[in-house]
Homo-oligomer: A and B are copies of this chain.
Amino acid sequence: MSRYERVEIALGERAYPILIGPGLLNDATTLSDCIAARDLLIVTNEVVAPLYLATLEAALKGRRVHSLILPDGEQHKTLASLATIVDALVDARLNRDAAVVALGGGVIGDMAGFAAACYQRGIDYIQVPTTLLAQVDSSVGGKTAVNHPLAKNMIGAFHQPRCVLADTRTLASLPDREYSAGLAEVVKYGLIRDAAFFGWLEDRAEALLARDDAAVATAVRRSCEIKAEVVGIDEREQGLRAILNLGHTFGHAIETASGYGNWLHGEAVAAGMVVAADMSERLGWLQAPERARAVQLLKRMRLPVEPPKIGASRARELMGMDKKVLGGKLRLVLMRQLGEADVVSDYDAGVLDATLRAHFD
A232 within 8 A of B: no
A155 touches B95 (CB 8 A): no
What 0/1 readout, one digit per residue, does chain A (87-100) give for beta carbons within 8 Å of chain B? 10010010111000
The interface residues of chain B lying within 8 Å CB-to-CB of A86 are 79, 148, 154-155
A90 to B318 CA separation, bound complex (whole angstroms):
12
Chain A positions 157-188 with a Cβ under 8 Å from a chain B Cβ: 157-158
Smallest distance from the beta carbon of A332 to chain B beta carbons, Å?
A: 15
Chain A positions 114-158 with a Cβ under 8 Å from a chain B Cβ: 117-122, 143, 145, 148, 150-151, 153-158
A234 to B82 CA separation, bound complex (whole angstroms):
29
The interface residues of chain B lying within 8 Å CB-to-CB of A97 are 326-327
A83 within 8 A of B: yes
Smallest distance from the beta carbon of A14 to chain B beta carbons, Å?
A: 12
A87 to B149 CA separation, bound complex (whole angstroms):
9
A339 within 8 A of B: no
A320 within 8 A of B: yes
Copies of this protein, total: 2
The interface residues of chain B lying within 8 Å CB-to-CB of A321 are 90, 93
A326 touches B96 (CB 8 A): yes
A118, A158, A327 pick with most chain B CB within 10 angstroms? A118
A145 touches B158 (CB 8 A): no
State whether A323 and B95 are in contact (beta carbons under 8 Å apart), knowing that A121-B158, A154-B120 are contacts in the complex.
Answer: yes
The interface residues of chain B lying within 8 Å CB-to-CB of A155 are 86, 118-119
A325 within 8 A of B: yes
B90 touches A150 (CB 8 A): yes
A143 to B82 CA separation, bound complex (whole angstroms):
20
The interface residues of chain B lying within 8 Å CB-to-CB of A82 are 79
A156 touches B121 (CB 8 A): yes
A145 to B328 CA separation, bound complex (whole angstroms):
30
The interface residues of chain B lying within 8 Å CB-to-CB of A120 are 154, 156, 323
Smallest distance from the beta carbon of A62 to chain B beta carbons, Å?
A: 16
A74 to B117 CA separation, bound complex (whole angstroms):
23
A79 touches B90 (CB 8 A): no
A215 to B185 CA separation, bound complex (whole angstroms):
61
